[in-house]
Amino acid sequence: MPTADFERVRYVPWVVILAPAVAIAAIGLAQVADVPDLLWLWLWAGLGAVAIVALKQQRRIGWLLLGFALGFALMHARMVTWQEHSLPSVWSDVSFEASIEVDGLAKASPSGGWQVQTKLLSAPSPQLTGMPVLLHFPTVEAPTPGDCWQAKIRLYAITGQHNPAGIDFEAWLFSQGIMATGRVVSLDERSKENQWHWQQWRWLAMSKLLSVLPQNTGFSGLNIALVLGEGSGISPEQWQVLRDTGTLHLAVVSGMHITLIAGLAWALAVGLWKLFPSQRVPAYLVGSVAALIAAVAFAILAGLTVPVQRALLMLLVVLVALWLKRSLHPMLTLSWALLLVLLWDVASVMQVGFWLSFIATAILVWILSLPSGRVVRLLAVHLGMSLLMAPFLILFFNQIPTYSPLANLIAAPVVEMALVPLLLLTAILAWIVPSVAMQLGYLADSIWEVLWQILSSIATWSYSVWLLSPMALFSGLAADEQRLTLLDMGKQPMVAVWQTEQGNYLIGTGNQVGRQHTMDSIILPSLTRLGVSQLDGVLVTGDDEQAQVGLTLLENRLPITKVFSGLDCAGETQGWQWQAEGDSCWLHLNPQLALTWQATNQKPDAITSIIAPAPKGKANRAMKSEFWLSPHLPAHDSWAQTVKGTHCSGAMTVSIQGQEMKLVQEYRLADKRFYHGACQ
């Protein structure tokens, strides 16, 4: 067979078709409301059989169908496992004794204490034993991986906020394999033991690196994230700057880290080999084995996140091709990495980071394959990546950073060529020569200080973030219609969006939760999805610092006509009265936190009442409402005439036309997925 024909037959890129098909099928099946019956497995098997037959005639269609069958089967099996091992309702919101083991790195909780993934080593029920749960520890000191206690714990079925847009907490828990959340009621300190756990390596490395980094400059969290992929130490303000400048990817461990570590290990191993050369073992084999060992060790330290898995598997595929003396196209290498990641854990498709990592790498590979000079290629990478990633950022986050190309053009070379090598050297010397490592730590902070001033300045420029949602094109108001959307804020203060023909209004500006303010994680994405591009009025319902932080974040995103501050609840019938532009309507908030709506052509006593949230106290329980709207709280007949929501319904939108009010959207029901907790 001629060489050209041999090469063409040997390198048929079937995996380029198979791997994306597996990913698409897996994410598609994950959108269903309920786990399919086991009989559906026969359908996937039948589809696979059809695919095998099709391979003889139409290879591309055959590989595509085989990928769909494999993706459906893998996700179906994962869903069945999730369903079988979920928290039984009888053990939800019940305190019981259990033996627990810390199974991850602890993160500081906004309410105090620590939040960490654990495993139930023993429990009162066999259904609970071995279950991975996310627990809140009230302890002063952070629990370390491998710590074991006898404890009294209280578990809760998985629930999250459900809004027009925002983070799906339940989907994230499913992708991590976490079956329940809960808290530690009490710990028996006398029972504490410590077993070996692979995460201890990460904990020790992080502790050692922190010991040589300056603690008074505020950049230690960013340094830890660059070296170990642990971002819990990054402040909310720093996350905000990174998001607004489109440089968030620079604060995580990426393929560049793996490549750098592998390259250094290769060079060191080949250099040592040349001191004692051998004809039986070639230099490239010694270097490749050393590179793989170093890359695997670093990937474990970095937590084996999806981007790290992708980079490690791409390196492995390249090294295997090198050992077999074969050449592979980078896109073929990426496809193999995609397939292997899915085979390892198909639930990875539920993570936004999975899609962004593989999509960004595919775009990068394509740009670098274009014929161009070094300078042109450098500009094309940053500008092209920003433009081509924009549709996906809109899809996942409903926004894109306007000045991302400029920010990345400045920050990427500094981080990749200066900070990452410097911090990796600092992490190594922290174990050998701590005094030298400290000096390198101060040097890294000096570089961060200059770079951060530039990024912070860019983040404050006008229209630094462009908000856009394709769904907003279908959210227009009908004639003479008003809409009131009460967002699902969990236990946080109430936030509502009031849309009228005369203007759009926001009641409440949110609080800080975890590493993000709810203005960024819930309110702004929901405003964008609802089609709100400007606000005619904003009511700041609290006078605390977090409410003002939310207002500042909002002012940097949307034009605001007027801000109403403070909440005066001195009156018996209403705390504040808001008269919209053109004397069109009022919105009231009485001392019982009941929203009421009134049109100008109505008499003062003709008021339609909307209770949100549920009233408290004996006096308020007698109050009747014509329409009740409140997420996460069950209705009681004593104060709600019409039940229009349940405690797990999520955000809801009420449409108001004249005297008619109707519930037009319950986001919890509309967006229901199989991993969501059942409504009660």
User: Token digits for 288?
Assistant: 């490749």
Contacts of 157 (CB under 8 A, 6+ apart): 86, 87, 89, 92, 180, 677, 678
- Determine the pLDDT at residue 580: 39
339 or 280, which is more confident?
339
Tokens 């996700």 found at: 75
Q: Looking at 250-254, 291-295, 557-561, 649-653, which range is the least confident one?
A: 250-254
Q: Looking at 137-141, 266-270, 676-680, which range is the least confident one?
A: 676-680
Q: Indicate the DSSP class of residue 583.
A: G
Last residue of a domain, one of 33, 55, 85: 85
**pLDDT band at 626; cut points 50, 70, 90:** low
Give SS3 for 594.
strand
- Determine the pLDDT at residue 669: 66
Same-domain status, 516 and 569: yes
- Judged against a pLDDT cut of 50, whether residue 283 lies above it is answered with yes
**pLDDT band at 628; cut points 50, 70, 90:** low
Q: How far apart are CA 586 and CA 577, in angstroms?
A: 7
- Judged against a pLDDT cut of 70, whether residue 375 lies above it is answered with no
Strand residue runs (E) in 76-146: 95-102, 107-108, 114-122, 132-137
Q: Could you tell me the strand order of the sheet in which 482-486 lies? A: 563-565, 537-540, 504-507, 496-499, 482-486, 652-657, 660-666
Tokens 């089609």 found at: 531
Tell whether 402 is covered by a domain.
yes
Same-domain status, 141 and 233: no
**pLDDT band at 590; cut points 50, 70, 90:** very low
pLDDT tens, position by position, 611-625: 665 555 544 444 556
- Determine the pLDDT at residue 410: 87
Last residue of a domain, one of 413, 446, 465: 465
Tell whether 184 is covered by a domain.
yes
CA angle 35, 37, 41 (to 5 degrees): 105
Tell whether 480 is covered by a domain.
yes
- Judged against a pLDDT cut of 70, whether residue 529 lies above it is answered with yes
Same-domain status, 61 and 191: no
Q: How far apart are CA 87 and CA 177, in angstroms?
A: 12
680 or 481, which is more confident?
481
The total domain count for the chain is 4
Percent of the chain with pLDDT over 90: 11
Same-domain status, 363 and 417: yes
**pLDDT band at 356; cut points 50, 70, 90:** confident
Same-domain status, 277 and 397: yes
Tokens 């639930």 found at: 347
Tell whether 677 is covered by a domain.
no
Give SS3 for 311.
helix
Same-domain status, 481 and 598: yes
Tell whether 680 is covered by a domain.
no
Same-domain status, 629 and 481: yes
pLDDT tens, position by position, 538-581: 878 666 777 888 888 888 888 888 887 644 333 333 334 444 33
- b/e map of 522-544 (b: 16 or more CB within 10 Å)? bbbbbbbbbbbeebbbbbbbbee
**pLDDT band at 327; cut points 50, 70, 90:** confident
Same-domain status, 394 and 421: yes
Same-domain status, 426 and 547: no
- Determine the pLDDT at residue 678: 54
Tell whether 109 is covered by a domain.
yes
| Mean pLDDT (whole number) for 38-53 | 89
- Determine the pLDDT at residue 585: 40
CB atoms within 10 A of CB 335: 24
594 forms beta bridges with 611
Three-class SS string for 439-474?
HHHHHHHHHHHHHHHHHHHHHCCCCCEEECCHHHHH
- Judged against a pLDDT cut of 50, whether residue 71 lies above it is answered with yes
- Determine the pLDDT at residue 25: 94
**pLDDT band at 452; cut points 50, 70, 90:** very high
Q: How far apart are CA 454 and CA 451, in angstroms?
A: 5
Same-domain status, 359 and 451: yes
Q: How far apart are CA 119 and CA 121, in angstroms?
A: 6
Q: Are strands 585-589 and 482-486 parallel, antiparallel or unpaired?
A: unpaired
**pLDDT band at 251; cut points 50, 70, 90:** confident
Tell whether 676 is covered by a domain.
no
- Determine the pLDDT at residue 119: 92
Last residue of a domain, one of 440, 465, 490: 465
| Cis before 613? omega within 30 | yes
Same-domain status, 516 and 419: no
CA 215 from chain centre, in angstroms, equals: 27
Residue 163: which domain range? 89-197
User: Token digits for 477?
Assistant: 């108001």
- Judged against a pLDDT cut of 80, whether residue 610 lies above it is answered with no
Same-domain status, 259 and 153: no
CA-nearest of 138, 92, 116, 167 to 647 is: 92
Tell whether 675 is covered by a domain.
no
| Mean pLDDT (whole number) for 268-273 | 85
Give SS3 for 609.
strand
Q: What is the pTM of this model?
A: 0.81
470 or 436, which is more confident?
436
Dihedral through CA 522, CA 525, CA 529, CA 532, nearest 10?
Answer: 100
